Structure formats: structure tokens, C-alpha cells
Chain A
Amino acid sequence: MSYQLYRNTTLGNSLQESLDELIQSQQISPKLALQVLLQFDKAINNALASQVKNRANFKGSLNVYRFCDNVWTFVLNNVEFRELPDTIKVDKVKVVACDGRGSSDAQT
């Protein structure tokens, strides 16, 4: 299965904006745009599972947590990310996490 949540990233948003432009100029239909997005979901899920090797590590204080429809959403404050490989500090970060427990077997 391919999650759609990666549409809400730099790469996904850029694609959606690009598709919107082509729809606006009537070069493609919304239906075709949707097919492109579904292909994007597949491609990004696969790429993350197969091409990415690096790990990350973070520490911060949890401000908000929410578990709804099997999706966790966290807001953390004063977070320090390590091994990126640099250390990066942010005042606030939102983490949106879909359930990855079953999908890894299915994908690999």
C-alpha cells in the first residue's frame, strides 16, 4: 500500500502545484492529474523504503499528541535532530506518522 501523506512534502506539494497549473491551462484533465499523484505515492513510498539508508535521532519536549484514524500527530518543542549528519535544532516541529507496522512487509 502506498500512503498519500508524502504529498504534503516539498516534492509532493511541488507536484500538486505543477499539476494544478496544467489543469488550469487545460493541458491535462483532473483525472489524469490524480493518476499522476497515485504514481507519485507509489514512487515516493518505494524510494523511501529502498533508497534511503540514513537514520535520524531526535530529542525534545512533547507538546501535543494525537492519535486519530491510526495516524499519530505530535508537536514537539525545542527539538534537536542528530545524525542528519549535522545537528539541527528547531523550536517547533510537527510529526505526522501513518501506521508503518504492516506496510514494510508488503513493500519489501
Chain B
Amino acid sequence: MATSQSNVSKVYKSVIDEVVKNVREAFLNDGVDEQVLQELKQIWESKVTQSEAVSVPEPKPRVLAQNPQDNSQHQRNVVGKHTQQIPMQPAIVSPAIVNPAIVNPAIVNPAPVPAKQQGQHFITTHPQYMQQPHGQYHTTTQIMVPGTSITTIPQQIPQTSQTNQQPIRPAYHGLSVSAIQPTHQTMQPTHQTMQPTHQTMQNLHNPHVTTQQQTSRPSVIIQLDGPNDSDSDDDDDDDDFNDLSHDDDGEDKPQEDGDPLNSEDDVSDDDSSDLFDTDNVVVCQFDRITRSKNKWKFHLKDGIMNLNTKDYVFTKATGEAEW
């Protein structure tokens, strides 16, 4: 790999240099400044490097940074400024956005401090309410647990819901954020990765929703999610939560593993445009293509291959395949 890849970068570098050298005159004839040619070279080289098709010595943290961003974006909508202070830990991102239906002015400030302190659990609480058309409270709970187990969550849900009519400001704040989360054995890594199902999700938020809704069905509606929240934010969030947490059927929840299941099955049935659609491409010239019954043999040369995002070159290649 190392030799092959260094070979690729060497070839690419020589091609770039060669092209730049050979077009210099054309640039001059066209009245284009030499600087533009250098800029072309620079952009070109940087694009090749960015493609990561040619291995470079440096590690590439950029890819890792993507995921937390996705998560944080979701969180940011919900928790607002608090989220920014929560350390992102890509490996164990378990953003759980819990919206207890505790109707109590005590939680006007939705416990940002515990959220920060509990950063390793990556849980944020954010009470959020939405008035349904029929005037009922609607609690939304979204718990996303991508591949990590949260096994140390204390079971203090009853406390939360039962004390909600009492002056629980201290209690609530003392309550660790994770306490709001129901602990269920289903929050195991295997379940989450293999089958983040309906079952799991239900267990995750059902106790929540039911206990809290029942015990705290309030008659007063107060905007409790902090002074800085805007209405538009709330609307967006509620919509999001509705999609995820309200669908108790949960049919669409295992989205993560839904796609991979089907993606390969479809290949043979798709139309031709999809048939030829792949990221792994070999561009080359053929010397000889032979076929005997269903056995094909390929004699190729001067190829550039992009396999699993990496580039390879060959001067000759032979291949066999059965049709």
C-alpha cells in the first residue's frame, strides 16, 4: 500500500508539473498572468490532496468532525447556547434530549449546569412544551443513543415526576441530568447498533411520557424553556420531536440499519444507470478481452483505479470473472 500509494502521488506530481510546464506558453499567448497558472497548480494540488485518494502522512480528523456537528446541530436547536459548552465526544455521542413534562416554574432554567457536568454522558435536558390543538400537553422525549451504552443512569424518574408540583427547584437542579433518563436494560450497545428498534425507543421514552404526563397533567402552560429561546426554535424542535418520539409504532425508527439492508439487493434490479453507478472505478485501456462460455478474461493496461476512495495505478492488469 505504502509503495503503491507513494507511487501514485509521484506520478500525479509529475503529471501536474508536466501540465503546468506545457501550458505556460499557452497562458502567455492568451495574455494570462503567470500567477494564474501558479494558482491553477495550487488549486489542483489541493483538490487532489483533499480527495484523500492519495494517502498523505497527516491523519485526517476532518471526517471525524462531521458527526458531532450533525448531532450538535440538532442539539443546538434544542438547547440553545448551552450546547456549545458541552464537550463533543464523537465516540460516545449520546445526545439525549429529554423534555420532561414537569410543569413547574422551577425549571425555567433548564439545568444547564448538570448538562455540562454530565458532559461525559452527553445528555442535555431541556424542558419543552408544545400545546396540542386539543389543549393537551405534549411531552416529547428524544433519546438518541448511537452505539454507546449509558449504563450508569440512576433511576430517579419517579422523583422527577412526583415532585413536580412541589417547589422542586433545588431538587431538580440537584438531579443529575441523567437521572431524568429512564434506565432500561434495553439501552445496550447491541440493541442500539443492531436494532435500534421501536422496542428500545419505546422503553426509552415511554416511562417518561406516561408517568410524567399522568402525574403532571397541568392546567397552566408556561413557557419554561429559558428566556433565550425563540418561538421559531421551539416550533422546529417540536416538529422534530414529534417525528421521532411520538410515533410509538416506531416503524421508521431503525433508520440507520434500514438502508444498508436493502442497498445491495437493489443492485441487480435497478435500471442501467444505477447498474453502472459506483464509486469504485477503473479507467484503463484494454489489450485483450476474451471469453470462453461464461468465463471472461481481461488484459488491461495503463490503468488508474479508485478503490474504496484510494487511487492506484497499474501498467498491466489481468482479471478473471464469471458472468
| A and B part of one assembly | yes
Interface residues in chain A, defined as those with a beta carbon under 8 Å from any beta carbon in chain B: 3, 5-6, 8-11, 14-15, 17-19, 21-22, 27-29, 31-32, 35-36, 39-40, 42-49, 51-65, 72-77, 79, 81, 84-86, 88, 90-101, 103-104
Please measure, in the bound complex, the distance between the C-alpha atom of A45 and the C-alpha atom of B243, giving whole angstroms. Answer: 54
Please measure, in the bound complex, the distance between the C-alpha atom of A35 and the C-alpha atom of B23, giving whole angstroms. Answer: 7
Decide: A56 near B314, CB < 8 A? Known: A43-B19, A90-B308. yes
Decide: A6 near B289, CB < 8 A? Known: A11-B15, A84-B4, A97-B300. no
Q: Main SS of the interface on chain B?
A: mixed
Please measure, in the bound complex, the distance between the C-alpha atom of A42 and the C-alpha atom of B302, giving whole angstroms. Answer: 13
Decide: A100 near B286, CB < 8 A? Known: A73-B276, A94-B280. yes
- Chain A residues near B302 (CB, 8 Å)? 45, 48-49, 52, 100
B275: contacting residue among A44, A48, A75, CB under 8 A: A75
- Chain A residues near B304 (CB, 8 Å)? 6, 9-11, 44, 48
- Chain B, residues 242-278, CB within 8 Å of chain A (1/0): the string is 0000000000000000000000100110001001101
CB of A63, distance to nearest CB on chain B (Å): 7
B3: contacting residue among A18, A42, A85, A101, CB under 8 A: A85
CB of B282, distance to nearest CB on chain A (Å): 4
Give the one of A40, A45, A46 with max B CB within 10 A.
Answer: A40
Q: Can you name 17 A-B pairs with beta carbons within 8 Å? A: A10-B306, A11-B304, A52-B7, A55-B315, A56-B316, A61-B321, A62-B322, A64-B275, A74-B321, A81-B312, A85-B4, A88-B307, A94-B280, A94-B282, A99-B285, A100-B285, A100-B287
Select from chain B the residue with minimum beta-carbon distance to A64.
B275
Size band of the B side of the interface? 35 or more
- Chain B, residues 285-323, CB within 8 Å of chain A (1/0): the string is 111110000001010111111111001111111111111
Interface residues in chain B, defined as those with a beta carbon under 8 Å from any beta carbon in chain A: 1, 3-4, 7, 10-12, 14-16, 18-19, 22-23, 26-27, 30, 32, 36, 39-40, 43-44, 47-48, 51, 53-54, 264, 267-268, 272, 275-276, 278, 280-289, 296, 298, 300-308, 311-323
Q: Establish whether residues A19 and B40, one from each chain, have CB atoms under 8 Å apart when the complex forms.
A: yes
Decide: A98 near B319, CB < 8 A? Known: A18-B44, A52-B314, A74-B298. no
Q: Establish whether residues B1 and A51, one from each chain, have CB atoms under 8 Å apart when the complex forms.
A: no
Q: Establish whether residues A58 and B317, one from each chain, have CB atoms under 8 Å apart when the complex forms.
A: yes
Please measure, in the bound complex, the distance between the C-alpha atom of A3 and the C-alpha atom of B311, giving whole angstroms. Answer: 19
Please measure, in the bound complex, the distance between the C-alpha atom of A39 and the C-alpha atom of B16, giving whole angstroms. Answer: 10
Select from chain A the residue with minimum beta-carbon distance to B275.
A64
Decide: A92 near B278, CB < 8 A? Known: A98-B285, A100-B285. yes
- Chain A residues near B10 (CB, 8 Å)? 51
Q: Establish whether residues B40 and A43, one from each chain, have CB atoms under 8 Å apart when the complex forms.
A: no
* 17 other A-B residue contacts (CB within 8 Å) besides A27-B36, A39-B26, A76-B321: A6-B304, A10-B311, A15-B19, A18-B43, A40-B15, A47-B15, A52-B302, A54-B314, A59-B319, A72-B289, A75-B276, A85-B4, A93-B305, A94-B278, A96-B281, A97-B289, A100-B286
Q: Establish whether residues A14 and B48, one from each chain, have CB atoms under 8 Å apart when the complex forms.
A: yes
Please measure, in the bound complex, the distance between the C-alpha atom of A3 and the C-alpha atom of B289, giving whole angstroms. Answer: 19
Please measure, in the bound complex, the distance between the C-alpha atom of A84 and the C-alpha atom of B10, giving whole angstroms. Answer: 16
Decide: A47 near B14, CB < 8 A? Known: A73-B276, A99-B285. yes
- Chain A residues near B47 (CB, 8 Å)? 14, 17-18
CB of B118, distance to nearest CB on chain A (Å): 41
Please measure, in the bound complex, the distance between the C-alpha atom of A33 and the C-alpha atom of B174, giving whole angstroms. Answer: 66
Please measure, in the bound complex, the distance between the C-alpha atom of A104 and the C-alpha atom of B315, giving whole angstroms. Answer: 11
Q: Establish whether residues A54 and B315, one from each chain, have CB atoms under 8 Å apart when the complex forms.
A: yes
- Chain B residues near A94 (CB, 8 Å)? 276, 278, 280-282
A59: contacting residue among B4, B23, B313, B320, CB under 8 A: B320
